[in-house]
Structure 1
Amino acid sequence: MLRQLASGPSKAARLAFQVRRATAVTASPLRNTAATAFRPRQALSAGRWYSSEAETAKSEAGDAAATKESRTAEAEAEPLNAADAAALRKDLDSKAKEVLEWKDKYLRSVADFRNLQERTKREIKSARDFAITGFAKDLVDSVDNLDRALSMVPEKKAAEAVEAAEEKLSQDFANLVDGLKMTETVLINTLKKHGLERFDPNGDRFDPNEHEATFMTPMPDKEHNTVFHTQQKGFRLNGRVLRAAKVGVVNNK
């Protein structure tokens, strides 16, 4: 209680002093706003503190932006010295060289891939064209036997048999020859559809890639190194020699 009485006048005195001071300083006609003077000092100081803090942060941000812009302008305005320019040029040259190396690797990779595609296409085509090589080699023997059977009957005798068709035996013989010829024609055409083709080099110039010379003999009335006799006909499968023709060759040397 005594403490309150002792402290009471001092507070009242301080409050009266603040009122007189505010009245003396302002000296304005807005004296009816004396309630503002009675606002606690802590509230006034807090308001001033928050306002000054925001203004300080704003000013610092502006100073930082201005400093950054000035530094950027100075960096752009200042010319590079010789050492920095040389280092920059060296770095640029190394990057350009690296770009050229990667471009070369890219072009090589594209070329290798295209070569692989072309090679794969050729291999697929070759596998498709020559897939029946084994079958064709076994089949040509049957074609040879049919050809030998027809060669045993000369064309002159076959024609005579057709003319003398009154007799039963001659008629049967003529029908047999015609049937063999028809069978051979159908068989050869079927083989040709699948790429297998028979060739007879009689009268052609000797070619060691397609012909196999079984014997050679001089013949003055024929040109040297010419095929004059076909012992066995040859076969090609899609342009590739499947079996060379066995021939006799003229040798006039």
Structure 2
Amino acid sequence: MSAEEQKAQQQNVEAEQAAATSEQEVEQPQVEVSDEQMMLDQLAALSSQVETLQQQVSEEKDRALRAVAEQENIRRRAAQDVEKANKFALERFANELLPVIDSLERAIELADKENDELKPMLEGIELTLKSMQGAVGKFGVEVVDPTGQSFDPNRHQAMSMVENADVDPNTVLHVMQKGYELNGRVIRPAMVMVSKAPATDKSES
């Protein structure tokens, strides 16, 4: 092979190498663009997953808060029910004792206090009455004695009405039977006599 042919062959090889290098340089940016797009897609996917997880966490938090609130409401209602049950559990028993207290008070009221022979018995009745009143009082039973107060249909039971010009109409003049409350709730209304305005005499006009 002559020197000129070798030189020409060498030039062909160099040209092919240059072309290959040029192709690699052209293809390289495409590879870089493809990797960047892949990273962007991955970031977008991760961002979507994060948003989904955040939404799930928020929903779970709301459910947990609602569950806690509902549990607190149940606890509060149960506590109120227990409180009411404890407060008024003695109502029926107290109602059974009230007639006994009435009888003791009536016996003291009607007893001949001037009779010396009856004094020991009378003292015993009075002590028994005080003991019973103190016992029921410890459990919230209180006497309703509205003498001189305005008539209240929620707490009093009017047995009669009497004309009286000295007090305002609907004033309790006399308590015929004491009423009782249990922790603020009426378990027996007081039986009372109530005033009313005197009737005007039309003949005077």
1:185 maps onto 2:130 in alignment: yes
Query: Residue type matched to 1:179 in 2?
Result: G
Structure 1 residues 147, 99: closer, same or farther in 2, change over 3 A?
Answer: same
- Please list the CA deviations of residues 61-95 of structure 1 after superposition, one character each: whole Å capped at 9, or x if unmatched: xxxxxxxxx99xx45995459xx85x777665554
- Structure 1 residue 203, shift from structure 2 partner: 1.5
Partners of 1:77 and 1:204 lie apart in 2 by: 90
Query: What is the RMSD computed on CA atoms of the aligned residues?
Result: 3.1
Q: Where do 5+ consecutive residues of structure 2 fail to align?
A: 1-30, 199-205
Q: Which residue of 2 is the match for residue 249 of structure 1?
A: 194
The 3-state SS of whatever aligns with 2:82 is: helix
Q: Which residue of 2 is the match for residue 67 of structure 1?
A: none
The 3-state SS of whatever aligns with 1:119 is: helix
Q: Which residue of 1 is the match for residue 7 of structure 2?
A: none
Q: Which residue of 2 is the match for residue 218 of structure 1?
A: 163
2:94 pairs, out of 132, 136, 144, with 136
- Structure 1 residue 110, shift from structure 2 partner: 0.8
- Structure 1 residue 210, shift from structure 2 partner: 1.5
- Please list the CA deviations of residues 137-191 of structure 1 after superposition, one character each: whole Å capped at 9, or x if unmatched: 11111111111222224xxx63xx2xxxxxxxx2112333322222211111111
Q: Which residue of 2 is the match for residue 118 of structure 1?
A: 76
Kindly report which structure 2 residues correspond to 1:194-205, keeping only aligned pairs within 5 A, or say none: 194-205=139-150
- Structure 1 residue 120, shift from structure 2 partner: 1.1
Query: Residue type matched to 1:135 in 2?
Result: F
TM-score using structure 1 length = 0.56
The 3-state SS of whatever aligns with 1:236 is: strand
Q: Which residue of 1 is the match for residue 119 of structure 2?
A: 174
- Structure 1 residue 103, shift from structure 2 partner: 2.2
Structure 1 residues 252, 111: closer, same or farther in 2, change over 3 A?
Answer: farther
Q: Where do 5+ consecutive residues of structure 1 fail to align?
A: 1-69, 162-169
Q: Which residue of 1 is the match for residue 26 of structure 2?
A: none
Q: Which residue of 2 is the match for residue 39 of structure 1?
A: none
For the pair shown, which has the larger CA radius of gyration, 1 or 2? 1
Percent of aligned pairs sharing the same letter: 33
TM-score using structure 2 length = 0.67
Q: Which residue of 1 is the match for residue 64 of structure 2?
A: 106
Q: Identify which of structures 1 and 2 has the higher relative contact order when contacts are C-alpha pairs closer than 8 Å and 6+ apart.
A: 2
Structure 1 residues 97, 181: closer, same or farther in 2, change over 3 A?
Answer: same
Query: Residue type matched to 1:104 in 2?
Result: D
Query: Residue type matched to 1:118 in 2?
Result: R
Structure 1 residues 133, 92: closer, same or farther in 2, change over 3 A?
Answer: same
Q: Which residue of 1 is the match for residue 181 of structure 2?
A: 236
Query: Residue type matched to 1:130 in 2?
Result: F
The 3-state SS of whatever aligns with 1:229 is: strand
Q: How many pairs are equivalent?
A: 166
Kindly report which structure 2 residues correspond to 1:15-164, keeping only aligned pairs within 5 A, or say none: 74-75=35-36, 79=40, 94-153=52-111, 158=113, 161=114
Partners of 2:108 and 2:124 lie apart in 1 by: 10
